[in-house]
Amino acid sequence: MYRHILFDLDGTLTDSQEGIIKSVAYALEKQGEETAGRLEQQVIIGPPLMLTFLDTFGFSPEKAQATYAFFQERYGTIGKFENRPFAGIIHMLRQLQSAGSKAYVATSKPQVHAEAICEKFGLSPYLTEIAGSVLGGTEDKAVVIDRVLRHIGSGAADSAVMVGDRKYDVIGARKTGIPVIYAAFGYGNEAERQEFPADYTVNSVAELTALLLHS
């Protein structure tokens, strides 16, 4: 059984798409931008949002910063709580804790929001650490994973696993040398899973729980 389990947040522990999509729509509308084709979960949930504004939407650095500020205006007050843990997640975390495993969050989401979400929805008591990015950050997922592994200390890579729903989780895990589990109940798709294969794929929280408890 893995002793240290790193979880992505959006699309892995929680179903957060409503708040993110509504807040991106709000920000684009504030900027007078079209929302058509820009609100798919594949586009906006996963990478740091600043990178989406810069690289995917092609905004200038100044416009990306302004759009991000509008996003935070809504997401930081309302959107982050338009969210809920996937069914069975709290029970899974409780079981892992009872079995002696330690659970962590490693997310590209700003840490301040990740902490508030985990506290609001009852995840915090089961988490050893919540690691995220700074507001407006563009950190690679591997940087966040590596930060958690360094906090765990010697031998972390031999006893840890990453659980996530997007290619960014797989890429980050590969860069840091730990195995990775695809949560196919999240926001990824089959094409992405084929292009960036994980060590294991699970289709439900129940499958994930069984794998983590018996691997």
For residues 197-214, give the mean pLDDT: 98
Q: Which residues contact 33 (CB under 8 A, 6 or more apart)?
A: 57, 67
- The answer to whether 70 and 30 are in contact (CB under 8 A) is yes
- Closest by CA position to 38, among listed 22, 16, 61, 19: 22
For the chain, the structural domain boundaries read 4-15+83-214, 17-81
Task: Report the distance separating Cα 162 and Cα 182, nearest Å.
Answer: 9
Angle formed at CA 48 by CA 47 and CA 53, multiple of 5 degrees: 100
Options 1.20.1600.10, 3.30.930.10, 1.10.3720.10, 3.40.50.1000; which CATH number does 4-15+83-214 get?
3.40.50.1000
- pLDDT of the residue at 197: 97
Does residue 161 have a pLDDT over 90? yes
Task: Report the distance separating Cα 103 and Cα 90, nearest Å.
Answer: 12
Q: What rounded mean pLDDT belongs to the chain?
A: 95
User: What are 106's strand-pairing partners?
Assistant: 131
Task: Report the distance separating Cα 14 and Cα 20, nearest Å.
Answer: 12
Name the pLDDT band for 101 (thresholds 50, 70, 90): very high
Reported CATH class of domain 17-81: mainly alpha
Active site (annotated) includes residue 8: yes
- pLDDT of the residue at 114: 97
For residues 137, 143, 149, 155, the Cα torsion angle rounded to the nearest 10 degrees is -170
Task: Report the distance separating Cα 200 and Cα 185, nearest Å.
Answer: 13
Q: Give per-residue pLDDT as tens, 7-35.
A: 999 999 999 999 999 999 999 999 999 99
Q: Annotated catalytic residue: which of 8, 10, 15, 146?
A: 8
Task: Report the distance separating Cα 3 and Cα 13, nearest Å.
Answer: 18
What are 180's two structure tokens?
Answer: 């990775």
For residues 47-64, give the mean pLDDT: 93
